[in-house]
């Protein structure tokens, strides 16, 4: 079998790039190889769905701005046969809170966000208390509120992209890539577990937390590691005013969900690996102390459910690796290493990689700095003050 582009991995990221390839050039033949169409371990359905413009790097801010506008119109854009693709978008805002020691960094990031046209609001602790009277602000130095951000239903985003891409002619194969054949500076063929082989002009590594296994098929080391993270569901015993998605630099991050809240405390201390075990003590040990410190209404809260999921953690600098260049390969494209913000950047990065493949350059957002070259140069590009 021969096609133009093979996308390895059909999560939100792989489905997004497939959609944009077809959108930009309907004559492009695209095959997405996804080994598990139920997505039982994929990161996309296990994510929290937060979408925010609160970054320090212009690229990440622009990606979020693009994606948010895209999510605004997602239901109509991805509609099929008149049925809208609802993604449960809740634009209830996103709030970053920091201790006094991180005020300067937050201010610099805030200035960058404003310069790039984001609707963000600087809050001193008094103003924060007025806006969210239940919050303990005694140890906080400042906050930035982004009222147009929020969260959405991650599986619906994935299925919206997937169903629309399919309707445009993208083929999703329920199969597993088990080998890649290299000739000179090109990959020529993907070998599948069914025995099928696909030749193509381009190959995209959108395997998320499994991206390093795909690179290993070409003997290419990559600093992307699976990093376990817990998402907990909990309720408060007393009412709290409506909250945005809240993230503090102690890493507590949570948002309203149904009758309660969804969130957790991710940590980079976690050993890397494909570990989905749930640590039933984590909420009481790590999350609850931070929650009850911030809102007294959580004093008697217990965890009602925990699920685990994997970040595709880029241990080099915490940002996506996009495009060609790995070991000199010109047609093997990375699209992984999102390190916890892949869902919100799937539209922007999907479009960017489609532009690069079809037109040879970025047209919407210049993501050159997120390319493989920075690994060769040893120059990480890190977010400032944001984990």
Q: Which residues bind ligand FAD (CB under 6 A)?
A: 8-14, 33-36, 39, 42-44, 46-50, 176-177, 206-210, 214, 229, 231, 309-312, 336, 338, 340-344
User: Which is nearer to ligand FAD, 59 or 312 (by Cβ)?
Assistant: 312
Q: How far is the CB of 19 from ligand FAD (least distance, A)?
A: 12
Beta-bridge mates of residue 248: 97
CB of 109 to ligand FAD, least distance (A): 18
Measured in degrees and rounded to the nearest 5, phi and psi for residue 49 equal: 85, 15
Q: How far is the CB of 310 from ligand FAD (least distance, A)?
A: 6
- Residues facing 225 on adjacent strands: 313
| CB distance 270 to 282 below 8 Å | no
Q: Which is nearer to ligand FAD, 137 or 253 (CB)?
A: 253
Cβ atoms of 61 and 113 closer than 8 Å: yes
What backbone torsions phi and psi does residue 58 show, to the nearest 5 degrees? -55, -40
- Tell me the closest approach of the beta carbon of residue 294 to ligand FAD, in angstroms: 18
Of 136, 138, 88, which is closest to residue 295 (Cα–Cα)? 136
d(CA 266, CA 339): 11
* CB of 11 or CB of 93, closer to ligand FAD: 11
DSSP notation for 92-123: --EEEEE-GGGHHHHHHHHHHHHHTT---EEE
Distance CA 336, CA 333 (A): 10
Q: Residue 118 CB, nearest distance to ligand FAD (Å)?
A: 17
What distance in Å separates the CA atoms of residue 241 and residue 146, rounded to the nearest whole number? Answer: 17
Least Cβ distance, residue 116 to ligand FAD (angstroms)? 18
DSSP 3-state assignment of 292?
helix
């Amino acid at each position: 079998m021969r096609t133009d582009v093979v996308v390895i991995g059909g999560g939100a990221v792989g489905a997004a790039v497939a959609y944009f390839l077809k959108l930009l050039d309907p004559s492009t033949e695209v095959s997405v190889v996804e080994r598990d169409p139920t997505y039982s371990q994929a990161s996309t359905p296990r994510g929290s769905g937060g979408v925010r413009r609160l970054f320090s790097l212009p690229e990440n801010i622009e990606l979020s701005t693009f994606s948010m506008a895209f999510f605004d119109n997602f239901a109509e854009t991805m509609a099929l046969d008149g049925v809208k693709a609802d993604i449960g978008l809740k634009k209830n805002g996103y709030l970053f809170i920091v201790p006094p020691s991180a005020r300067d960094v937050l201010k610099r990031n805030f200035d960058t966000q404003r310069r790039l046209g984001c609707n963000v609001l600087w809050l001193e602790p008094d103003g924060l208390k007025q806006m969210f009277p239940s919050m303990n602000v005694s140890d906080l130095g400042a906050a930035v509120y982004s009222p147009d951000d929020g969260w959405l239903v991650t599986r619906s985003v994935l299925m919206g992209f997937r169903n629309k891409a399919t309707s445009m002619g993208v083929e999703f194969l329920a199969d597993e890539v088990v080998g890649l054949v290299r000739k000179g500076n090109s990959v020529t063929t993907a070998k599948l577990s069914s025995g099928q082989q696909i030749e193509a002009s381009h190959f995209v590594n959108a395997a998320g937390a499994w991206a390093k296994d795909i690179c290993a098929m070409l003997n290419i080391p990559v600093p992307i590691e699976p990093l376990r993270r817990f998402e907990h569901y909990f309720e408060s015993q007393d009412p709290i005013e409506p909250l945005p998605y809240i993230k503090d630099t102690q890493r507590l991050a949570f948002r309203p969900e149904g009758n309660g809240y969804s969130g957790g405390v991710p940590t980079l201390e976690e050993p890397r690996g494909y570990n989905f075990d749930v640590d039933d003590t984590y909420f009481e040990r790590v999350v609850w102390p931070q929650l009850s410190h911030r809102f007294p209404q959580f004093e008697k809260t217990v965890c009602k459910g925990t699920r685990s999921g994997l970040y595709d953690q880029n241990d080099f600098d915490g940002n996506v690796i996009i495009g060609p260049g790995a070991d000199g390969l010109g047609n093997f494209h990375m699209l992984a290493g999102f390190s916890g913000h892949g869902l919100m950047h799937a539209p922007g990065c999907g479009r960017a990689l489609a532009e690069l493949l079809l037109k040879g350059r970025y047209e919407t957002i210049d993501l050159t700095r997120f390319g493989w070259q920075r690994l060769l140069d040893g120059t990480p590009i890190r977010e400032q003050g944001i984990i």
